[in-house]
Amino acid sequence: MACRGFEQKRVSKLLAMPRSDVLAGDPANHFIPVEEVVGLVLRKRWHGHSLTIVTRDQPTGRKYCWKPALNNFDRVCGMLQAKFGESLAVE
């Protein structure tokens, strides 16, 4: 499970950096203010997980996908539930 160790180091490094540095470092990165989030849909599938974020600007939502081996789904779900509560739907 070397990928988990690598991914954890990468994420830890990113979390330690100031948000502005992370966003400026890669044009594909973007920030969604919490106030703009209208709803979230978290999906757990055997072939890949996804998170769809619905905002006022994008009512159809923006979808993010990742491989199950890259993180703990229950941990992601717990963090999102703690932050967004009723706005999070889990499928």
The confidence score (pLDDT) of residue 3 equals: 62
pLDDT in tens, the chain (91 residues): 456 778 888 888 878 888 778 777 776 677 788 899 999 999 998 888 999 999 998 888 888 888 887 778 888 899 999 999 989 999 9
Helix%, strand%, coil% for the chain, nearest 5:
45, 25, 30
Domain limits, the chain:
1-31, 33-91
- Enter the pTM of the model: 0.66
Tokens of 48: 């890949």
**What is the spatial distance between Cα 81 and Cα 83, in angstroms, rounded to a whole number?**
5
In CATH, the number for domain 33-91 is 3.30.420
Q: Report CA-CA distances (Å) from 27 to 11, 18, 20, 21, 78.
A: 18, 16, 12, 11, 29
The confidence score (pLDDT) of residue 2 equals: 56
